[in-house]
């Protein structure tokens, strides 16, 4: 019996839909989940996926990918390769596992929602593959971390992190709860698939994979690259969705992209900006965070906007300013509040590292070096107590990141909104704008500091905060190199 070629049956198989007789369509596809917002059902007939895959092909390719990652993992674990790695780089892997594994698992839910509630049958078919992809990603992270549990208890946070109130994890969770779990299909496709998966994951999974390979972490690098091949495929479902939305409601498309671009950017500054420009050993760095953003994210985002007839976000000049500074702010902040982390950050400000930073960011010394000089002086004078925080920083009610962490010390501003008697604070004009677009969406939430002030965290001091965040002594953050880098500046003390 002759087998049909794929193209002979593909169109029938991907488009399995029928007319419902026993329930109303609105009952089977509630608007809250679909999110068509007035786009007529027929409009989705134009929705056409940019890649074709059958289940048989999918399984074949995925199986090969799994075998590849597995072989490398076994060889690396056997060779105890992890022990040879640089401590700064190790922090990047722990930060990744703790903040990403559960996001992969949340993506399973998002994709399964596509496969059940998306407004057209083709999209629902692809959702099933996306769901299988994301299950694989979460499992890969768990297996990688499980292998390394004996090396460092911090890998327990791969699973544990999202069950704690650690503030950085809460910032990640807040964003993805919003754009993956709380969003309807249409919004999730634009905010998550198009903006995060097709854009920003490149920086976590391509740039980091390349840095990890340079740093000798073949295992982590192969895991990241393998995941990225799936992201690059399933993220494409954002494009046909944008096509349809642009024909019927371009204003909505613009707003969803502008909101998610800023929020994703602030988060990746925190997670990847610090890893790339501070934790990766300086001689192993391929590109700075900014260079990679310009090359891989910004050019690409601008092209999408242009191709679809959208405008650059109104906040573009502020974004460019934040690209120069925000992740340096997040880095000095996270390092200073290091007891609140579950990884050991590398300060990354030895003389050689500083030369690199000033080369990549010409105003670094003026904006950040002066602040580090104070810390360095205190470390070298043995005044360690001055290098630790005593209180919590005020946090933004949108990004959950500290106020003042989007720009440098020359651009501090107060961004507030009073909504129904409550005062909300923001890290930037952009975050304030996001809140004001849909205040009911964000108003009920209390950030860590709101909870602290409300007395939900006891005792009301740093110790109480650490307990509330589930930070235990064996994972509590400290300087990755035990302050050895400060030796570079011993002469500063003599000169003074």
φ and ψ of 406, to 5 deg: -95, -25
CB of 175 to Mn ion, least distance (A): 14
CB nearer to Mn ion: give 137 or 325. 137
Closest CA to 293 of 261, 256, 315, 253: 261
CB of 24 to Mn ion, least distance (A): 32
CB nearer to Mn ion: give 102 or 323. 102
Contact positions vs Mn ion (CB under 5 A) = 104, 107, 134, 137, 197, 231
CB nearer to Mn ion: give 129 or 279. 129
Asked if 58 contacts 132 with a C-beta cutoff of 8 angstroms, the reply is yes
CB nearer to Mn ion: give 134 or 353. 134
CB nearer to Mn ion: give 197 or 408. 197
Token pair listed for 270: 């925190």
CB nearer to Mn ion: give 63 or 311. 63
Residues 128, 133, 138, 143, Cα dihedral to 10° = 130
- Helices then strands (H, E): number in the chain? 26, 2
CB of 69 to Mn ion, least distance (A): 14
CB of 134 to Mn ion, least distance (A): 5
CB of 454 to Mn ion, least distance (A): 35
CA distance 26 to 89: 51
The answer, yes or no, to whether the previous bond of 459 is cis (omega within 30 of 0) is yes
CB nearer to Mn ion: give 192 or 340. 192
CB of 231 to Mn ion, least distance (A): 5
CB of 100 to Mn ion, least distance (A): 8
CA distance 262 to 196: 11
CA distance 108 to 192: 12
Q: DSSP class of residue 1?
A: -
Closest CA to 102 of 166, 33, 169: 169
Closest CA to 176 of 258, 264, 79, 294: 264
The residue number with the shortest CB distance to Mn ion is 137
CA distance 127 to 132: 9
């Amino acid at each position: 019996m002759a087998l049909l070629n794929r193209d002979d049956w593909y169109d029938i198989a991907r488009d399995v839909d029928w007319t419902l007789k026993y329930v109303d369509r609105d009952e089977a596809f509630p608007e809250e989940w679909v999110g068509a917002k007035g786009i007529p059902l027929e409009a989705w007939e134009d929705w056409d996926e940019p890649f074709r895959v059958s289940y048989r092909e999918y399984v074949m390719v995925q199986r090969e990918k799994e075998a590849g990652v597995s072989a490398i993992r076994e060889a690396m674990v056997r060779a105890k390769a992890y022990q040879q790695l640089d401590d700064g780089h190790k922090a990047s892997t722990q930060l990744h596992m703790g903040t990403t594994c559960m996001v992969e698992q949340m993506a399973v839910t998002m994709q399964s929602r596509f496969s059940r509630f998306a407004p057209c049958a083709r999209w629902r078919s692809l959702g099933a593959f996306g769901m299988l992809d994301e299950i694989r990603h979460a499992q890969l992270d768990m297996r990688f971390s499980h292998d390394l549990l004996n090396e460092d208890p911090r890998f327990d946070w791969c699973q544990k992190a999202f069950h704690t109130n650690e503030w950085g994890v809460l910032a990640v969770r807040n964003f993805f709860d919003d754009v993956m779990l709380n969003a309807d299909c249409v919004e999730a496709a634009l905010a998550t698939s198009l903006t995060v998966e097709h854009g920003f994951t490149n920086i976590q999974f391509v740039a980091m994979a390349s840095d990890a390979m340079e740093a000798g972490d073949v295992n982590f690098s192969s895991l990241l690259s393998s995941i990225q091949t799936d992201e690059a495929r399933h993220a494409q479902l954002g494009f046909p969705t944008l096509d349809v939305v642009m024909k019927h409601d371009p204003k909505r498309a613009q707003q969803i992209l502008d909101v998610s671009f800023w929020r994703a950017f602030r988060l990746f500054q925190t997670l990847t900006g610090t890893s790339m420009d501070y934790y990766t050993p300086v001689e192993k760095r391929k590109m700075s965070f900014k260079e990679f953003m310009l090359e891989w994210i910004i050019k690409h985002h601008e092209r999408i906007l242009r191709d679809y007839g959208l405008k650059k976000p109104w906040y573009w000049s502020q974004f460019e300013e934040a690209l120069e500074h925000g992740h340096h702010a997040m880095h000095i902040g996270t390092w200073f509040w290091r007891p609140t982390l579950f990884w050991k950050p590398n300060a990354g400000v030895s003389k050689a590292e500083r030369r690199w930073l000033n080369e990549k960011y010409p105003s670094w010394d003026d904006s950040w070096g002066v602040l580090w000089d104070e810390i360095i002086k205190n470390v070298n004078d043995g005044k360690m107590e001055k290098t630790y925080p005593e209180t919590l920083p005020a946090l933004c009610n949108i990004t959950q990141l500290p106020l003042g962490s989007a720009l440098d010390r020359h651009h501090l501003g107060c961004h507030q909104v009073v909504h129904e008697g409550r005062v909300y604070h923001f890290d930037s004009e952009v975050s304030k704008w996001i809140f004001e677009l849909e205040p009911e969406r964000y108003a009920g939430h209390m950030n860590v500091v709101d909870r602290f002030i409300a007395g939900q965290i006891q005792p009301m001091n740093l110790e109480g905060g650490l307990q509330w965040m589930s930070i235990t002594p064996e994972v509590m953050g400290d300087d990755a190199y035990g302050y050895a880098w400060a030796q570079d500046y011993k002469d500063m003390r003599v000169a003074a």
